[in-house]
Structure 1
């Protein structure tokens, strides 16, 4: 009996590892998908369609698990959706217009580095020395990627500023997410979050992008990339990652997210012909080292 239980547990963990790898693969390639879609659709239109398709897909798939939202939580859900996906996607997508997918993914990957600082100020959580060292190491890695050999910016300052705006939006999102996860399941939160985000994008889409989209003739690659963004990056990836957190815990599951910049770099190289110099490869490695260092205290407790 014990052997059977151990075998089932091993099979479950193997499946979870596979789901986590798929989740980070979808998130990593999503930067390439966005670049492809942006050739035909502006960022606001892209995000609007992405969220509409995603929320519809999630509701159809998980409607039996959907929970009724209490009126007292309307404000928290609206603020959650305002910061992410609305502000987050605005900053990320416009930032991606100015920098390469690889640099964008590396900057976004630093969100876990800033989370302990958010915990310190918002939740009075302790800040460890490994958090600070991890932050410094990863920041050095980013500098290696955005400066050339003569210490001049090799990436758009505006693009970097927008991407760090996306990081701040994601951190603000955590404050409200922490409150709502105590009452609602992940299916409900993600579906409502994406639907409300689409509503936030709707007026901007009608004002700025409707005419452009109406006259656009997107390629099949762009259409498939948009669907992939909605179904894989904004829906299934979150479901898979949530399953990983539920079985393995946050510390172990978060290790896999460190692969996102690597997947973005490789997919950009093959699909977009993005140049991968030694400086970028070293920079990615240093950023990942910093991320692992910042998580090392939690990992040592868990393993």
Structure 2
């Protein structure tokens, strides 16, 4: 597969995830965070398995791989969401975005330790510059505060994101993105069900449901939970965990411009500088791949599934 198409898929996945910051503001007018993620997972599960059965895309997953997918879904969406949603209540948006933006750095270390993926000096430089760009974007906001509890909860999200990226890579070598994301959504829904029933069922039953809040939830399910994960899973298969994860630094970049378009947020020179740094770091990290006509096979540096 040509490099430009892989990078297009990665960028499109990040754009879909960036839109969730716009849609969630609309959904939160009516629904609580746990309700939103549970509804997203229910809709995604129904849609994905409907596509699998209607278009006969079913792949029989071995029992050991189903157990493995339970672990993948436990890391993300379950643990990641719980850490992020609860942690953001105790820190400023600036500090929160900065902590979450460390995921590519942490993932690079994790992939080197667990997957034996090669980390070149240029890749490390790209990671650092890209993280610096996100830091500059975050520092453009004046508020920078938080509690230890909030920081620890966000670190749960960071390490959950790392373990998700590492664990899902192995199943991408054996199953299609459609199968992986379908089971990931299903198990994520099962994990979220008790939390939804205990904390949010009463409010969900009594709140005034309306299309103004429902449509953003449907959009998040279609584009973020389904579309973005399908694209991103394929990208991990194509270029590896580390290089795929660096693209997540595009999320704050896209979010800035989306907020400018839809929410009338202002863009400052500092913000523009942070965006340029982020993109520069991303380009540097992909430079070795850009020099090749074709991406090397997904088996490079990754042990076969189950070994």
TMscore range, shorter length: 0.7 to 0.9
C-alpha contact (below 8 Å) 1:138/1:287 kept by paired residues: yes
Q: Counterparts in 2 of 1:279-298, with a 5 A limit?
A: 279-298=270-289
1:67, CA displacement in angstroms? Answer: 1.7
For 1:154, what is the secondary structure of its paired residue?
coil
Distance in 2 between residues matched to 1:132 and 1:13, nearest whole Å: 20
Distance in 2 between residues matched to 1:206 and 1:287, nearest whole Å: 41
Aligned to 1:169: 160
Distance in 1 between residues matched to 2:60 and 2:52, nearest whole Å: 13
Deviates more, 1:189-198 or 1:74-83: 74-83
Aligned to 2:197: 206
1:68 to 51, 60, 63: 60
Distance in 1 between residues matched to 2:101 and 2:46, nearest whole Å: 27
C-alpha contact (below 8 Å) 1:146/1:153 kept by paired residues: no
Q: Counterparts in 2 of 1:247-258, with a 5 A limit?
A: 249-250=238-239
Query: Structure 2: any 5+ residue segments left out of the alignment?
Result: 295-307
Query: Structure 1: any 5+ residue segments left out of the alignment?
Result: 1-8
Instruction: Specify whether residues 21 and 139 from structure 1 end up closer, same or farther in structure 2 by C-alpha distance, changes over 3 A only.
Output: closer
State whether structure 2 residue 220 is matched by structure 1 residue 229: yes
Root mean square deviation, CA, Å: 3.5
Instruction: Specify whether residues 60 and 86 from structure 1 end up closer, same or farther in structure 2 by C-alpha distance, changes over 3 A only.
Output: same
2:125 to 128, 133, 151: 133
C-alpha contact (below 8 Å) 1:31/1:105 kept by paired residues: no
C-alpha contact (below 8 Å) 1:28/1:105 kept by paired residues: no
State whether structure 2 residue 132 is matched by structure 1 residue 143: no
1:86 to 78, 87, 108: 78
Distance in 1 between residues matched to 2:210 and 2:278, nearest whole Å: 35
State whether structure 2 residue 16 is matched by structure 1 residue 26: yes
In the superposition, the TM-score normalised over structure 2's length comes to 0.78
C-alpha contact (below 8 Å) 2:140/2:271 kept by paired residues: no
Aligned to 2:179: 188
Aligned to 2:113: 121
C-alpha contact (below 8 Å) 1:147/1:155 kept by paired residues: no
Aligned to 1:58: 48
C-alpha contact (below 8 Å) 1:51/1:197 kept by paired residues: yes
Aligned to 1:3: none
- The one-character-per-residue Cα deviations of 1:240-284 (angstroms, maximum 9, x if unpaired) are 4556778xx438988876643332112222323334333333223
In the superposition, the TM-score normalised over structure 1's length comes to 0.78
Aligned length: 288
- The one-character-per-residue Cα deviations of 1:69-115 (angstroms, maximum 9, x if unpaired) are 22222321111110011012223334555555x98777656544433
Distance in 2 between residues matched to 1:90 and 1:257, nearest whole Å: 19
C-alpha contact (below 8 Å) 2:3/2:290 kept by paired residues: no
Distance in 2 between residues matched to 1:254 and 1:51, nearest whole Å: 22
1:179, CA displacement in angstroms? Answer: 2.3
Aligned to 2:305: none
Instruction: Specify whether residues 22 and 161 from structure 1 end up closer, same or farther in structure 2 by C-alpha distance, changes over 3 A only.
Output: same
Instruction: Specify whether residues 75 and 45 from structure 1 end up closer, same or farther in structure 2 by C-alpha distance, changes over 3 A only.
Output: same
